[in-house]
Amino acid sequence: MKIFLIRHGETNKNIGNKLHERYDTESLNETGKGQITKTGKALQKYKISRIFCSKEIRAIKSANVLSDILNIPIIPIDGFEERNWGIYANRPWSEVKKVLEPLTLKERFLYEPPQGESWKTTEERLVDALNNSIRQANGENIAIVTHGSTIRILMPYLLGVSREESFKYDPDNASITEFKYEGSTFINIRVDDTSHLKDPH
């Protein structure tokens, strides 16, 4: 079984380096639509049976594009939404960075922004959503359309490394991160692959 983690296509907030709010109304911009179309074409050579996706509009729109290209169903699923940053939503990442930088790794893991959720809570629901998707897949290849921070938080779990390793990952819009799943083991194939986006067609 293979799992393809896809970050949604570009949005205008991504360009402005602002944090999305929970259930944001913002969709893909024209660049984002083009990006995710190229991702869909790159996935055609794999026998993917279904697409699971975050319930955020930008993820659903991206999943719809992939669904049309691959001719497979999409399944919006609870839990794949990115971290809820509460009062920091719609603000630049630099504001949150100032709050987080003085904290230890453990403090960052447990820190809960006002009206938001902690890294710990986010990680728990993401792992639950991933395992739920794997159960539903019955050994077939799947794509999961989600968010950059979602993939970043999942990486230590998938790779079996410390949480601190998550800071190394910053998936690009419409990128492909691929794992082979055998029993209870995740085998990394590629991370943040955007080579398909360089295709002029």
CATH architecture of 2-198: 3-Layer(aba) Sandwich (3.40)
pLDDT at site 201 = 66
pLDDT at site 28 = 94
Global confidence as pTM: 0.94
Name the helix (H) or strand (E) containing 132.
helix 119-137
pLDDT at site 45 = 96
| pLDDT averaged per 10 residues, the chain (length 201) | 97 80 85 97 97 96 98 96 90 89 95 95 97 95 96 96 94 97 94 92 66
pLDDT at site 59 = 96
What residue segments make up the domains of the chain, in order of their start? 2-198
